[in-house]
Amino acid sequence: MSYLKSLPTDTTLLQVFQAYPETARPLLDFHELVLRAPGPFTPGERELIAAYVSGTNGCGYCHGVHTVTAEAFGLAKGVLEAALADLGSAPVDERMKPVLAFVGKLTRTPARMTDADADAVLAAGWDESALHSAVLVCALFNFMNRMVEGLGIRADETYAVTSGTRLAEGGYAGLATLLGS
C-alpha cells in the first residue's frame, strides 16, 4: 500500500516515476548505464546481482521484478532462491559466487568489508572494473530497495512478470520513454 496518498494504494514504481519525472529521469539514466552499458558483467549477471541484493534486503518488489528480468536473460528459474538460501550449494556459476558473497556482505554489513572480500572476487578471475561494477549495482539496489520500501510500493507476481519482461526487452531507457514529456 503506497504511502503517497495522492497516488493509488496499489501504486507501482512506474507510477511513482511518472509522478516525479524530474528525479526519475536521471535515476533511470543511471540504471541504464549501470545495468546495460558494456561492462565486465552481462546484463543478465547484473540483473542477478540486483535481484540477489534485493532478496538479501527482503525487498519483494525489486527481488521479484529483477528475478524475472535475470531469468529473461537466461538465468534458470529457482537459482536466485537457491542462492539466497545457501550460496555455497546454489547452482550459480562458480565465478559469480564470490561476487554475490561480496554484494551480500556489502548489503548486510558494509562497515565490515575487507581486502579479503575484494580479493575473493579478483581471485575468481574478475578484474577491478568488475568489482567496481558489482559495487555500483549493489549500491543502486540498496538505494532502490529503500525507495520502494520507504514509499510502500508493493506488487504481485503478475506485475513482476510484466515489469521484468519490459525491462528485459526495452531496458531502463525504454522505461524512461513511459514517463511522458
Tens of pLDDT, residues 89-144: 999 999 999 999 999 999 999 999 999 999 999 999 999 999 999 999 999 999 99
Cell of 126: 574478475
Q: Does 62 reside within a domain?
A: yes
Give the domain CATH number at 27. 1.20.1290.10
Q: What is the pLDDT of residues 48-80, one digit of tens each?
A: 999 999 999 999 999 999 999 999 999 999 999
Q: How far is CA 164 from CA 71, 92, 169, in A?
A: 9, 20, 9
Residue ranges making up the domain that contains 149: 21-173
Residue 7 in domain: no
How many domains is the chain built from?
1
Residue written as grid cell 540483473: 47
pLDDT in tens, 145-168: 999 999 999 988 999 999 999 999
Q: Is 144 helix (H, G, I), strand (E, B) or coil?
A: helix
Q: Which residues contact 135 (CB under 8 A, 6 or more apart)?
A: 103, 106
**1 occurs within a structural domain:** no
Residue type, 104: G
4 found inside a domain: no
**Has residue 180 been placed in a domain?**
no
